Structure 1
Amino acid sequence: MAKATILFLYCFLSLTTFAQTKPNIVFILADDMGYGDLGCYGQKQIETPHIDQLAAGGIRFTQFYTGTSVCAPSRSALLTGQHTGHTPVRGNYEIQPEGQLPLPDSAYTMAEMLKHAGYVTGGFGKWGLGYPGSEGTPNQQGFDRFFGYNCQRQSHNYFPDHLWNNDTRIDYDNTPINQQYYAPDLIQKEALAFMDEHKAQPFFLYLSYTLPHAALQLPKTDSLLEYYKRKFNEQPQAIPTLWDGKGYQPQAYPHAAYAAMVTRLDHYVGQVVEKLKMLGIEKSTLIIFTSDNGPHREGGNDPAFFNSSSGFRGIKRDLYEGGIRTPMIAYWPAVIAKPKVSGFTGASWDFMPTFAAIAGAPAPPRTDGVSLLPTLSSKGKQKQHRFLYWEFHEDGGRQAVRMGKWKGVRLNVMKEAGNPLELYNLDSDPGETKNVAVENAAIVQSIQKIMQNEHIEIARFPFLKN
């Protein structure tokens, strides 16, 4: 079905239902935040009171997963409601001088769905799904307003020389030795203004924060950095006196800087909630908080110091649990009457059908997700996944499947046809320490069949070795 036809049907059907009762949706996506980086998920050293408060008043999910273990394909899976065997962007593919391989015009995103269901849509933060002028820019993929980084590679510098306001480049007088304008503050200001402007109509606010992704950068006057330096009694590491602007800016206090970035993100979340309260729309707003993949070990960061993976195996770029299991919190005062912890096994492609159900829109086409509305509302029977599937297109290629208590991982699939499958029992071995494939041949066979069936080869992201 052509994209234009899909949009017409969604627009027509959505306008006839659920007209005046649509809740606002605020989707907060952290960047490279580990499962264990929040106090409500067991973090002992970093303070996250505002996010913890969301969990205390909402639903904290313990078995929720990202789209995959790096930025662009994870975000593609989120926005299209399709896992990485189906979604159009499956890897970090750079376009020079700025941007990434774009979402094609045929892609159908949650922003397009919600826009045609009567929502005003805004994206603020990091994009990474299409270079300027391409069909993959936010304004071409359903967002009425965008402010932030077009290119995920350029977002590695928190003091950029430019950001994008829709399709207009905004230049800033930032240099390696003259860092005046901190991008997260600029982006947050625009996001809060968007809420002010659209408080009288249903809005979808996609806050794709860059924190706490490397580089480990903060404003020079940041009090949080000083606080954590004292808290950790951290001694400075030797770094170059001058940074040439290439790669990640070195950080003399990496532990304090990472902690400060996480807490700074928490403060931004607190500002969003406070704004909703001030506008009188907190109760009628669904807030989702999650991360795009596991914790990073870049720019001097040390996830082991913070136990960022919470005892799970792996970090960013792994398809073991530490690379893809994510914090996920849902806060919706008008609907979630009783706080709880949910063990529902889900993934980021579930948000597309969930938001369709909330907005009164038809079920989205070509989704791998299920609606979480029964879990959020405690009404009706929650549909379960038979399995979850992931691909990773770097380091030789990887596949993974979660099927009930079983987790299958296959490495080097782009290099070695028929590479053996690792199998783990997550009920008895959540750390994925014991490969039990030999003892469970039938389970291995079932997972191998899922891997074979769920991958659809596309020319722009070739994967399986013939």
Structure 2
Amino acid sequence: MNAMTTLTYFFPRRVLRAVVVLLSCVCLAASAAESEAAEQPNIIFILADDLGYGDLSCYGQKNFKTPNLDRMAKEGMRFTQHYAGCTVCAPSRACLLSGQHTGHVHQRANGPIEFRPDPQDISIGRLLKNAGYHTAMIGKSGLACNSQNGNHPAEKGFDHFFGYISHGAAHRYYPQVLWRDGEKVQYPDNHGKEGKHYSTDMFVADAKEYIKEHKDGPFFLHLSLQAPHADLNVPAKWRDPFVGKFKEKPHTKDSHYRNETHPKATFAGMVTNLDDAVGQILDELKEQGIDENTIVMFASDNGPMSEGGWDRNFFNSGGPLKGGKRDMYEGGVRVPMIAWQPGKIAAGETSDHVSAFWDFVPTACEAAGIKPPADTDGLSYLPTLYGKGEQPEHDYLYWEFHERGGKQAVRQGDWKAVRLDFQTDPSRPLELYNLADDLAETKNVAAEHPEIVARMREIMRKAHVDTELFKIPAN
């Protein structure tokens, strides 16, 4: 007897038909799930630290070249109006990973604050993990400015973590201790400011190994590098080619950051080392044959610094923009951003779409085929990346900063409002600039446009929600 005859001998035909239909449905569902998984792109977000809008040659830097990021821009899309989450590290990264701006996000300042346990402060790691992605964060954790919990990234949805859980520790490029998946890793040959194991090299090597291991996807990798944040520190092979090219003033007797005899050469070496790191990741994706199914984004967490022996004016790190790190002017929050996916993102495109860090969560969610969280302040820019559909636009972008007297800023269309010293002088008048005519924010036109000032003040009021830690006095 054949198989069907044998089964018919033991079971009625109507039962067998039901079983066949059920199995067919299961197979179709499995096939649909496999198809959906195959359509989910891998997502990589590479983040630099304190890199200015003008620090890449594709954004105008003339003192050194960044050929790999230039190639990424040539093969992908370069954004000219992309904004960080804040003007310093921790709140900016919190905006990136949560999808909220600093008027709503829990972490709005540097300090011992961290993402709270789920279901509070849901991260993009958790959202993509729930959507079937394997998730990793390598480098400087954006989930806490200073955590004592080495398992914190795993608790917030990251299957793999290797790096720093303290931003203070991340000032050092030769770490004595890093964390790997909840366990401490000791580096006895490292001494903080000097050593044998350079953190960027370790993080890039780990990222490449991760890509190889998870090439079948889908995966989400957040590669969060330290450069060019002070310490000014880079291996000699990157620094030495620039020694003698610039007029130098040695940086000595620093109580915190590393002393450096050639700050300009070291900074140039740090950015070119960062550029090489990005090139290695792109090359690894091509080597594994997954470049066309991987969205790669690159940005900086805030504007350029002036600390640790570095002055952002040396190489015009802010480009045409006013200010830098800890400012609410454009130089503090407008950052380079490049997106790359061969065959999907048009090569050589430049976009002036106004976007911000809190847009990354809905963008990644749309790419993964899932709904963004209901409390996001972001709008997906996937239509801009893929050139399909209608791109939604923000009514406004909002920032607040709780150092140096307190600062707020709003951009609405071409108008930019800046409020200074809200903690010490709540009645201080707003500054108003028209970015279309005055990108460098040199002319305060608030007196000429009282109705726009009033509108901006109202946006600042409604965009901020008081928390126990962060309050803004009425004015």
Whose helix fraction is larger, Structure 1's or Structure 2's? 2
Q: Give the aligned partner of residue 354 of structure 1.
A: 363
The alignment status of 1:186 with 2:198, answered yes or no, reads no
Give the structure 1 partner of residue 436 of structure 2: 427
Identical positions, percent: 46
Q: Are residue 124 (structure 1) and residue 133 (structure 2) matched?
A: no
Query: How many angstroms does 1:38 deviate by?
Result: 0.4
Distance 2:36 2:84 in 1: 29
Contact 2:140 2:224 (C-alpha < 8 Å) held by counterparts? yes
Matched, 1:270 2:251: no
- Looking at structure 1, the residues matched to 322 and 315 of structure 2 have their Cα atoms a distance apart, in angstroms, of 14
Instruction: Give aligned pairs, total.
Output: 440
Aligned to 2:14: none
Superposition TM-score, scaled by structure 2 size: 0.89
4+ long deviations beyond 4 Å: 14-17, 131-136
- Cα contact 1:61–1:342 (8 A) shared by 2: yes
Taking the aligned partners of 1:176 and 1:79, their CA distance within structure 2 comes to 28
Alignment of 1:376-391 (within 5 A): 376-391=385-400
Residue in 2 aligned with 1:101? Answer: 113
Equivalent position SS for 2:292: coil
2:257 aligned residue: 248
Q: Which amino acid aligns with 1:231?
A: K
Report the equivalent of 2:459.
450
- Cα shift at 1:465: 5.6
State the secondary structure of the residue aligned to 1:376: helix
Distance 1:154 1:383 in 2: 39
Residue of structure 2 in register with 1:164 after alignment:
179
Residue number in structure 2 paired with 1:237: 250
Conserved 8 A contact 1:349-1:368: yes
The answer to whether 1:195 aligns with 2:207 is: no
CA distance in 2, matches of 1:121, 1:316: 30
Structure 1 residue 148 corresponds to structure 2 residue 163: yes
Pairing 1:340–2:349 present: yes
Distance 1:19 1:118 in 2: 8
* Alignment check: 8 A CA contact 1:296 1:303 kept: yes
Contact 2:135 2:159 in 1 (8 A): yes
1:68 and 1:43 map into 2 onto residues whose CA distance is 23
**Post-superposition offset of 1:178:** 5.7
What is the distance in 2 between the residues matched to 1:135 and 1:92? 19
In the alignment, is residue 47 of structure 1 matched against residue 59 of structure 2? Answer: no
Q: Against the structure 1 CA distance between its residues 31 and 178, is the aligned structure 2 distance closer, same or farther, given a 3 Å change threshold?
A: closer
Q: CA deviation at 1:311?
A: 2.0
Shift of residue 136, structure 1, vs aligned partner:
8.6
Tell me which moved more, 447-456 or 126-135: 126-135
CA shift digits 1:300-321 (9 cap, x unpaired): 1121111100021101000100
Secondary structure at the counterpart of residue 206 of structure 1: strand
Larger Rg: 2
Task: Give 3-state SS (helix, strand or coil) of 1:196's partner.
Answer: helix
Query: TM-score, normalization: structure 1?
Result: 0.91
Specify the alignment match of 1:9 in structure 2.
none
C-alpha distance after superposition, 1:103-142 (max 9, x if no partner):
1121111111111111100101101533545499211111
Distance 1:320 1:207, change over 3 A: same
Q: Which secondary structure state, in structure 1, belongs to the residue aligned with residue 206 of structure 2?
A: helix
Q: Which letter does structure 2 place at the counterpart of 1:25?
A: I
Return 5+ residue gaps in structure 1 as ranges.
1-13, 94-99
**1:115 aligns with one of 118, 129, 134:** 129
For structure 2, which runs of at least 5 residues remain unmatched after alignment? 1-31
Q: Which amino acid aligns with 2:136?
A: G
- Work out whether residues 228 and 260 of structure 1, in 8 Å CA contact, stay in contact via their aligned partners in 2: yes
For the 8 Å contact 2:328–2:408, the answer to whether it is kept is yes
